[in-house]
Structure formats: C-alpha cells, structure tokens
C-alpha cells in the first residue's frame, strides 16, 4: 500500500488524538490519583536523584533532571512520603490523594548540620554530591561527571575530562586526549550519544567519536554507562557515553569563565580558553525556559623533538657497540582552535507536560605544521645489524640527509538537534521525540613535501666520543 505524505501525517495525528482520548478515558475510569513533587535545596536549585519513599506502598522512586517526581495509581487516602539526598537532612511529608486529581508537593531539603553546610554548598563538593546521588539512583552501573566538576579542573577537551573517571583510559594525540577506553576495551566498543541520541563518527571507517573535537565545558554533565540496559544500543558493549545538554533552571543563570597560558617554545606560543552560559525562565509562571552556552579555546602548542635511532654495530677492529645510525631533528607547531554552542528551549504545557528543543554543535580545527631533518651515519667499516640504508654485506653506508615538511588542516564538526515532549496524566504518560545528528571531517590529507641532499655526504659520521647523552647524539659537520 502506498501512502502520500499528507496521508502519513494525518495518520500520525489520528493516532495521537486516539492515544490522548484513551489516556483521558482510562484516567476518568480508574478512580486513582497522582502525587507530583518538586525537590530543591535551600537556595532553590533542583536536586536530581533524590530518593522518594512512599511508606504505605513500599515504593521508592527518584527525581528527574528537573527535580520532579511522580507517584501514580494511588487509591484516595493519606500517604506518608520521605525524601533523602546525600548531604542533606531527610524530609518527611504527609499528603492527601484525591481520585482523578494530581496533588502537588513542594519539598525543600535542608543541610544535615552546620558543619556539613560548608561541604555541601562549596562548588566542587556540590557537584560531587550530585554525581553520587545520580549514580545511586541509576538502574545500571553508571558514572556521572557534572559540569561543576568538569570546570573545576583545566580540561583541554571532553576526553581529558572523562579520563579523570575510574576505569577510563585515554588514547592521546600530541598531548591531548582523543579516544576513550572504558574498562580496557577498544575505543570502537564505546558508543556516544547526545541526550540519548546516537552520534556518528566524523572519521571514515571508524566507529568511535573524537572527543578532542568537543569542548569540555559545553555540556551540563556526562554519563558513562558501564552496563547496558534493554533500551540501549548493542554497539556500546564496552560502554556508552551520553552527553547531557544544559537547560534553564528556576533561577536565572549567568556564568562566565576564562583561563590562559604561555609556552616559550618556538618564540612563544599562547593558549586561551573562555566559556559563557546564559539562561532564564520567562513568564508569570515561568513556563518558557531558554538557555544557551558557548565555549572557545585556542592552543598554540610547540614541540622541539630529537629522535635518534639506535642499532647494534660491529666495529672494524672487532667487537660490538651501541651505534646511532640515524637521527631526526623535528619541529612541530600547532594552531588548534575549538569552539562549540549548546542549549535548550522548553515550554511547560502543564504539570509534568512540556515540549523542548535541544541542540549541540562543536567544531575543531586541528591545524599544525611539521618540519623534519633526517641524518644518516656513513662511518666506513661499520656493520649495522639493522642495516639502515647500508649494504649488509660490505657495511658501506651511503645514506644522504633528507628534509620533509607537512602542513595539516583538518576541520572536524559534530552536531545534534532534538525536538520532543513529555505528557503526564494522573495514571499514565507518554513521550515523543524527533532527532538528527551529523559529523564530518574535511581536509583529511595533509600537504607533504620531501627533499634529498645532492651534496657529497659520504663523510657524515656519528661521533661517539663527542656524544654526552644517548638522547642527543653528535654528528660531525660534514652531515650539514
């Protein structure tokens, strides 16, 4: 059967209307009620992962990212509720449930004691307390890295931030983390999602995401699921990394941060990093929330590098010795820039019902230049076991100096956008979303040029007597 576009859209609308009608009918007939609660700290910030216990039905649930919780299908009557959160004193409430209605409950937790108040309200400790409560409330083995903890350390990118978690190791690229490995598994066995939506790799033929392409402080938190659940994709058997975008809270948000550095190599190379987050809820009842965050950093890293190659040589008079048969004199210069933007727009339709749009985009220009000058030893009568360019029978070496240079200009991008909603009723709920994600890698092949010397370099020789360090071997002037 063939459906036209408008027919498909009409069918979707019809199914949605029928679903809403069915939910409403079930609610009217059930005679049950719902408790809707909101948990905050003394300053009014929401507490995600707070544990809610309803004593009469022996049930425990946890607050969501907005600090809300719902207890459905309750018979009319009086219920005792207790709320616990690591670092805060427990709270006990009594609430009356009415059939067919949603009873709203606002709960503010206080710190356990004056001594603990400093611990909980300090920026770093508050982030760690949030992580502990979210890990405790999860149905699987998960570790959480909140934004407060990410910003507390000078992480160059998201990979460097994730590398601070237990059982997470990094594959580095010229000093910065690039790929992550969870519990020792290969990077390709760890998948990446943004707000639960899979993100493709920007590299052709590679499954893993380049986390050095994403700024460290552009997300609200990072969750590493170390055990899969039934609703997760099977391509993350090593682990699944979920990036959670920022969203507006009950209080206005304005956060600005920056840092800088300097490296004296190659005439001086600077580094700068800056980030900003602005958000607020609007309207009389704060139904509309808008938040946007942006980050930018630039790294001017430089490297002076000497790479000698050792070999075991047979000397003319007999005997053997450790010999430096070649050496590379290298210089690297980087111009790395990384920027990203992310945020959320959401609107509350009613108690527990909202629609939202979330987005994240990052761009990484991994620019760099390389210069390499290579020397080869031509000492007569030296028999090298490795035979680096030498005749293995005669021991003659005729290698000439060479020079090569390379400039790379890869441009990497990762993006995701999600439209969705959640609708709560007294005894039922449903959610929906539509999403798209894209990654790309441009200018993959670097420009490279190589040159060989045309001079007579037969007298280019390694000088063991002048060498004071095996890491900086000396060659005579005929090599240059």
The three-state (H, E, C) secondary structure of 224-247, written as one string: EECCCCCCCCHHHCCEEEEEECCC
| Average pLDDT score, the chain | 81
Q: How confident is the model at residue 4 (pLDDT cuts 50, 70, 90)?
A: very low
Question: pLDDT band for position 18 (50/70/90)?
Answer: low
Report the length, in residues, of the chain.
Answer: 480
3-state per-residue secondary structure call for 63-84: CCCCCEEEEEEECCEEEEEEEE
Q: Provide the pLDDT for residue 291.
A: 94
In degrees and rounded to multiples of 5, residue 173 shows phi and psi of -130, 105
221 — alpha (psi -120 to 50), left (phi > 0) or beta? beta
Whether the Cβ atoms of residue 38 and residue 71 lie closer than 8 Å to each other: no
User: Across the chain, how many H-helices and E-strands are there?
Assistant: 5, 25
SS3 at position 96? strand
**253: enclosing H helix or E strand:** strand 253-263
Proportion of the chain above pLDDT 90, given as a percent: 16
What element of type H or E holds 28? helix 5-30
- Of 357, 356, 361, 358, nearest to 341 by C-alpha is 361
pLDDT digits (tens, 9 = 90+) for 25-76: 444 445 788 888 888 888 777 888 888 888 878 777 888 877 888 888 888 8
CB count within 10 Å of CB 128 equals 19
| pLDDT at residue 436 in the model | 92
pLDDT tens digits along 440-462: 999 888 888 988 776 666 778 88
DSSP letter (8 states) at residue 196: T
Q: Which residue has the tokens 């391509």?
A: 235
Q: At which residue do the structure tokens 């005894």 appear?
A: 427
Strands 190-194 and 239-244: parallel
Domains of the chain: 34-116 (2.60.40.1120), 138-244 (2.170.130.10), 248-480 (no CATH)
- Would you state the torsion angle of the CA atoms of residues 119, 120, 122, 123, taken in this order, to the nearest 10 degrees? 140
Phi, psi of 395 (to 5 degrees): 80, 5
Q: Which residue has better confidence, 318 or 409?
A: 409
| Residue 199 structure tokens | 């993100």
How would you label 246-275 residue by residue, b for 16+ Cβ within 10 Å and e otherwise? bbbbeeebeeeeeeeeeeeeeeebebebbb
Contacts of 299 (CB under 8 A, 6+ apart): 156, 271, 334, 336, 337, 338
């Amino acid at each position: 059967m063939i459906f036209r576009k408008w027919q498909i859209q009409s069918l979707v609308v019809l199914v949605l209307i029928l679903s809403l009608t069915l939910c409403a009918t079930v609610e009217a007939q059930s005679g049950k009620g719902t408790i809707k609660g909101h948990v905050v700290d003394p300053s009014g910030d929401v507490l995600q992962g707070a544990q809610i216990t309803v004593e009469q039905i022996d049930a425990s649930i946890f607050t969501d990212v907005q600090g809300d919780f719902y207890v459905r299908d309750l018979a009319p009557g009086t219920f005792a509720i207790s709320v616990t959160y690591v670092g805060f004193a427990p709270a006990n409430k009594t609430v009356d449930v009415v059939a067919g209605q949603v009873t709203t409950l606002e709960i503010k937790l206080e710190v356990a004691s004056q001594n603990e108040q400093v611990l909980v309200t300090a920026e770093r400790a508050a982030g760690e307390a949030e992580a502990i409560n979210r890990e405790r409330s999860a149905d699987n083995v998960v570790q959480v890295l909140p934004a407060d903890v990410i910003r507390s350390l000078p992480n160059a990118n998201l990979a460097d931030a994730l590398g601070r978690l237990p059982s997470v190791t990094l594959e580095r690229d010229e000093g910065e983390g690039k790929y992550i490995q969870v519990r020792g598994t290969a990077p390709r066995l760890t998948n990446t999602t943004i707000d639960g939506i899979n993100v493709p790799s920007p590299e052709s033929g590679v499954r893993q995401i380049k986390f050095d392409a994403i700024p460290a402080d552009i997300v609200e938190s990072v969750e590493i699921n170390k055990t899969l659940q039934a609703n997760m994709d099977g391509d993350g058997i090593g682990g699944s990394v979920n990036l959670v975008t920022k969203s507006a809270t009950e209080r206005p948000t304005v956060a600005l941060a920056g840092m800088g550095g300097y490296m004296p190599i190659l005439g001086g190379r600077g580094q700068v990093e800056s980030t900003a987050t602005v958000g607020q809820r609007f309207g009389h009842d704060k139904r509309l929330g808008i938040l946007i965050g942006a980050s930018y950093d630039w790294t001017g890293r430089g490297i002076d590098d000497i790479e000698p190659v050792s070999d075991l040589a047979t000397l003319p008079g007999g005997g053997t010795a450790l010999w430096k048969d070649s050496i590379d004199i290298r210089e690297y210069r980087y111009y790395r820039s990384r920027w990203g933007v992310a945020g959320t727009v959401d609107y509350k339709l009613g108690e527990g019902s909202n629609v939202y749009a979330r987005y994240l985009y990052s761009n990484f220009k991994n620019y760099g230049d390389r210069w390499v000058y290579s020397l080869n030893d031509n000492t007569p009568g030296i028999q090298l076991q490795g035979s680096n360019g030498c005749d293995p029978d005669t021991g003659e070496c005729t290698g000439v100096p060479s020079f090569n240079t390379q400039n790379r200009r890869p441009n990497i991008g990762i993006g995701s956008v999600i439209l969705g909603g959640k609708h709560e009723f007294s005894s039922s709920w449903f959610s929906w979303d539509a999403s798209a994600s894209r990654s790309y890698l441009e200018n993959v092949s670097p420009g490279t040029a190589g040159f060989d010397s045309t001079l007579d370099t037969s007298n280019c020789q390694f000088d063991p007597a002048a060498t004071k360090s095996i890491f900086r071997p000396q060659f005579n002037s005929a090599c240059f």
